[in-house]
Chain A
């Protein structure tokens, strides 16, 4: 069995479970999902339950894809968004934007995160460049960048506990949706 088939099998099982859950827990749930109308259950299904399911799948798939791409391009089995500093870069960029340029988040939350992640990865590459991006050096540089950026994140959180509470919830991985 190839990995692709295995993934496909899991995905099918998941969709099956979702539909089954929807049909048994909420009578008429599937129709309501298609046309929520004004019923609150329909709106919860369409604008909360379904987006959360999709967000969790997209989030997981995105992280997996990013990991695979990094591992393949860097020929490094340890590469992942978390090990080469990308995650801390994104986190720091979003915290900085929340505190100092909140209007940026209204229009381009994704861009802010991307720039932060790319900058952190650039820093790791710059550190490991002289060793031709040797796998261990990249991972060590990633560790260093992670620790530094992580320290800055903690400093910002410490000084702005109240203002950044929403970012803490996001950082902890809440998937709640409202639209």
Chain B
């Protein structure tokens, strides 16, 4: 080992040790500085009052996740699959949370801060239970356990309350999201959306095979054999799809479309956390209300 090499090593150590001490200790009482790569985790951190220092793709989060709103203090990290490493290393973070989806970035991210991989789908158990569980883990990371418990309880209560607005004799529900005019995602029982439906006492009309996340990507003809179901479509609709399905003979003749009004639901991030669950429940309750009020309007109009 040459002298210059040894000197370099010493300087490196001298710079490294205080860094570690600082990162580990941090100013007392302040909550840890966390960056979130996954939208579902960022969403829950915002919901429990500990927004991340930085998160990825904030603009797309607005389109696809919808809420809760990202505070202005949160910095943009760029792509979820390729977060800005320079910015991450300047943010003086205590931890970076990821899901196993972003496991590829783990080695790179761990050079900046401790990486916490908190998952919902990569182990057994229902999506709801795992989401609640992972919310607790996230809360522990930012020392907001009490807030998380309050948040979990209020989510449960809100969904229970919204369930009262579901009509008593409601049909099984088919919840889908358009990928293009010929392909949809249908959400099964073991998705977060399916779990919320069960909590609300709504039967899921999709009882066939689903993937890892609890949905199935199918061409729309696969929906033709599902009778006695109501259809609910999640936003956002890809461009041109509303026009195309209006003219689609096949879509218009699907039993669930032909027999009754299709429910319009807001954008809900199906891989999201509890805020997405509440958002779905509220969207569903409001959609049922709209259909009911339209039906009463029609009856009154007919009576006149």
Contacts and interface: CB of A to CB of B under 8 A. Distances in A.
Interface stretch (A38-46, A73-81, A112-120, A133-141): A38-46
A142 to B, nearest CB: 29
A104 B220 CA distance: 24
A162 B64 contact: yes
Q: Kindly state the interface size class of chain A when it binds its partner.
A: 20 to 34
A47 B179 contact: no
Given A40-B253, A102-B240, A178 B182 contact: yes
Most buried by B among A98, A102, A177: A177
B219 A174 contact: yes
Nearest to B219: A176
Interface in B161-183: 179-183
Interface in A122-145: none
Interface stretch (B134-142, B186-194, B241-249): B241-249
A98 B249 CA distance: 24
B250 A179 contact: yes
Nearest to B243: A106
Given A38-B253, A106-B240, A178-B248, A44 B179 contact: no
Contacts, number: 70
A105 interface: yes
Nearest to B249: A47
Given A40-B255, A179-B248, A174 B183 contact: yes
B250 A43 contact: yes
Most buried by A among B240, B247, B251: B240
Nearest to A163: B238
Contact of B247 (A44, A48, A174, A179): A179
Interface in B60-94: 60, 63-64, 79, 81-82
Contact of B250 (A102, A170, A178): A178
B224 A170 contact: no
Main secondary structure of the interface of A (DSSP, over half): helix
Contacts of B239: 98, 102-103, 105-106
A9 interface: no
B224 A177 contact: no
Q: Kindly state the interface size class of chain B when it binds its partner.
A: 20 to 34
Contact of A48 (B181, B183, B250): B250
B221 interface: yes
A166 interface: yes
Contacts of B251: 178
A158 B224 contact: no
Nearest to A168: B179
Contact of B179 (A40, A102, A165): A165
B244 to A, nearest CB: 8
B255 to A, nearest CB: 7
Nearest to B248: A178
A162 B239 CA distance: 13
A169 B220 contact: no
22 contacts: A40-B253, A43-B224, A43-B249, A44-B221, A44-B224, A47-B248, A47-B250, A48-B221, A48-B250, A98-B239, A102-B240, A105-B239, A162-B60, A162-B64, A174-B219, A178-B182, A178-B220, A178-B245, A178-B248, A178-B251, A179-B247, A179-B249
Given A103-B239, A178-B220, A178-B250, 15 more contacts: A44-B224, A47-B248, A47-B249, A102-B239, A158-B81, A159-B79, A162-B64, A163-B238, A166-B180, A169-B180, A174-B182, A176-B220, A178-B221, A178-B245, A178-B248
